[in-house]
């Protein structure tokens, strides 16, 4: 990043969360949903280098709560679009890497303002395209704003970096410069926050981007892409390319001019990207960098001395918020034998209070993302019925959408499939532990290491968990979901990814390279 003067920005403050218990906010959301409904079914263009085009193949996005309702029709980028997208991004990079700090941070700050002013509308798209209720949509949109605001400020911090030591007779400089063209491959479960966070971090550092959003949430990506354009982002800095991962996505990852890949999604796809990126291509000048956030098999440990009411509330929220479709979701509760039966009684009562309905009506629980996901989750439930004891749920729920009852299965063995494999749906396995030692051992017994939580009143056990519970995000006496930008930098260990710590002050290092300069005086 070239040293330059810049517009000062105040200290980072998290975006306030809208309270939907207030009638005026409920009315605002309902009006926004009605407004957005008037735009459903619109066709969106592929945008490469600022040029809009259409393809023969289409991606049709539908409402998972009502699959007959088309949200948006999108172009399907194929292998023939890889080279045009790369050339557009390379051409834009020639200028963007040298753009002033004010210009780069200004795009992020203005985009954050646009989204803030239209928060209800962005939330409404999340409600209709991916099935979030108002609070879950609000958290997604607020996090997108937070990412933009924090990363713009961190770009200013990096621009001021200096060597630790200035040698006599020499002037030292440290410059964090852009990497090049990056692929941003974003998920459907946080389609606003994660996609904008990865793209925003890329472009504020001077990189250009080929953006491939999930085929389950391309309309939300189109909306924030429009916001980036409105905020003054030059053509080609981000290229909007929905498409197949197997063709277009793999082609971009393998391209010799791709400098980095930022990906959030499943372990299998993340590892495939990592492997593909590691194979040098003819004409490739660098080792490609991968920034990967993958899956989780996240555990909440409930000790014998825990406040059970608090633990039950935390497990319920973490396991079934957004239908369990979070990489941070609690999919295992490991409970001390002394309170196991009492915990299950309280948990059953808590889970059975969850109302299933339409996200647009702000139901606490809505559909899973698509039919394939629904069938996979239902299959895991059947496996769980063989491996353990069904406590509640266990079937598809009523309604036109892809609805599944919130399901709790107890008496699961630590190495059973339900205890080891990521399900990504509203299914909780409950495992009995004879003591805290065994509970910690079970918590650490998967390939993953993303989030975890411990409920206990013992300071000694809290200290042990802080030392020994091997996850990237650990919480004490609170749920394991809901990382807050700036407070809980997010990223996991082991097969959960590269511990990239999104929403942290060091995230931009992943999208830059440090150039050390010594000038003799």
Active site residues: 293, 327
Neighbouring residues of 308: CB distance < 8 A, sequence distance ≥ 6: 302, 339, 342, 343, 346
Neighbouring residues of 99: CB distance < 8 A, sequence distance ≥ 6: 206, 234
The helix (H) or strand (E) run that includes residue 72 is strand 66-75
Kindly list the strands in the beta sheet with 51-53, ordered across the sheet, starting from the edge strand earlier in the chain. 51-53, 46-48, 238-240, 208-212, 181-185, 258-264, 289-293
Is the C-alpha dihedral spanning 127, 314, 263, 224 positive or negative?
positive
φ, ψ for residue 514, nearest 5 deg: -90, 130
The whole-angstrom distance between residue 356's C-alpha and the CA centroid of its chain comes to: 24
454 is written with which tokens?
């411990």
* 3-state class (DSSP) for residue 191: coil
* 3-state class (DSSP) for residue 194: helix
3-state DSSP: the chain helix, strand, coil percent, rounded to 5? 40, 20, 35
Asked whether 74 and 45 are in contact (CB, 8 A), the reply is no
Task: Report in angstroms the alpha-carbon separations of 232 from 52, 195, 394.
Answer: 17, 18, 50
443 is written with which tokens?
């918590």
Neighbouring C-beta atoms of residue 95, cutoff 10 Å: 13
Task: Report in angstroms the alpha-carbon separations of 2 from 51, 151, 156, 193, 197.
Answer: 29, 17, 11, 28, 22
Q: Exposed (0-12), middle (13-18) or buried (19+): which is 313, by Cβ within 10 Å? A: middle
18 is written with which tokens?
């809208």
Neighbouring residues of 305: CB distance < 8 A, sequence distance ≥ 6: 456, 457, 458
Could you write out the three-class secondary structure of 345-408?
Answer: HHHHHHHCCCCECCHHHCCCECCCCCHHHHHHHHHHHHHHHHHCEEEECCCECCCCCCCECCEE
């Amino acid at each position: 990043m070239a040293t330059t003067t810049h517009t000062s920005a105040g200290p980072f403050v998290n975006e306030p969360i809208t309270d939907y218990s207030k009638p005026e906010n409920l009315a605002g959301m309902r009006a926004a949903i009605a407004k957005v409904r008037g735009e459903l079914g619109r066709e969106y263009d592929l945008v490469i280098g600022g040029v809009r085009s259409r393809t023969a193949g289409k991606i049709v996005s539908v409402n998972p709560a009502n699959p007959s309702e088309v949200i948006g029709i999108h172009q399907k980028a194929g292998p023939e679009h890889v080279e045009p997208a790369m050339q557009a991004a390379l051409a834009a990079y020639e200028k963007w890497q040298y753009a002033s700090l004010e210009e780069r941070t200004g795009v992020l700050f203005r985009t954050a303002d646009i989204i803030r002013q239209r928060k209800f509308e962005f939330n409404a798209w999340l409600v209709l395209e991916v099935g979030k209720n108002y609070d879950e949509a609000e958290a997604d949109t607020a996090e997108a704003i937070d990412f933009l605001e924090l990363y713009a400020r961190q770009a200013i911090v990096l621009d001021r970096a200096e060597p630790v030591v200035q040698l006599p007779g020499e002037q030292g400089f440290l410059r964090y410069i852009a990497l090049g063209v990056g692929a941003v491959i974003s998920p459907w479960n946080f389609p606003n926050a994660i996609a904008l966070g990865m793209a925003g971090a890329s472009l504020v550092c001077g990189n250009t981007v080929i953006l491939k959003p999930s085929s389950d949430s391309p309309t939300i990506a189109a909306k924030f892409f429009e916001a980036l354009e409105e905020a003054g982002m030059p053509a080609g800095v981000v290229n909007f390319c929905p498409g197949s991962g197997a063709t277009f996505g793999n082609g971009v990852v393998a391209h010799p001019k791709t400098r980095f890949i930022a990906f959030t999604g499943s372990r299998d796809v993340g590892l495939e990207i990592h492997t593909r990126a590691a194979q040098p291509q003819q004409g490739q000048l660098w080792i490609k960098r991968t920034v990967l956030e993958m899956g989780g098999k996240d555990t909440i440990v409930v000790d014998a001395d825990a406040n059970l009411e608090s633990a039950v509330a935390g497990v319920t929220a973490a396991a079934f918020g957004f239908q369990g479709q979070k990489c941070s979701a609690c999919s295992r509760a490991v409970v001390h034998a002394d309170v196991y039966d009492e915990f299950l009684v309280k948990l059953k009562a808590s889970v059975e209070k969850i109302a299933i309905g339409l996200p647009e009506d702000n139901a606490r629980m809505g559909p899973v993302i698509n039919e394939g996901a629904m069938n996979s989750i239902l299959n895991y439930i059947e496996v769980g019925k063989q491996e353990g004891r069904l406590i509640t749920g266990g079937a598809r729920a009523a309604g036109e959408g892809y609805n599944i009852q919130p399901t709790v299965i107890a008496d699961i063995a630590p190495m059973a499939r339900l205890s080891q494999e990521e399900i990504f749906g509203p299914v909780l396995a409950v495992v009995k532990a004879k003591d805290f030692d065994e509970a910690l051992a079970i918590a650490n017994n998967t390939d993953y290491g993303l989030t975890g939580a411990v409920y206990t009143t013992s300071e000694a056990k809290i200290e042990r968990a802080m030392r020994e519970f091997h996850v990237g995000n650990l919480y004490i006496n609170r749920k394991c979901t809901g990382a807050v930008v700036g407070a809980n930098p997010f990223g996991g260990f082991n097969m959960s990814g590269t511990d990239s710590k999104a929403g942290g002050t060091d995230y931009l290092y992943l999208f830059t390279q440090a150039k050390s300069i010594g000038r003799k005086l």
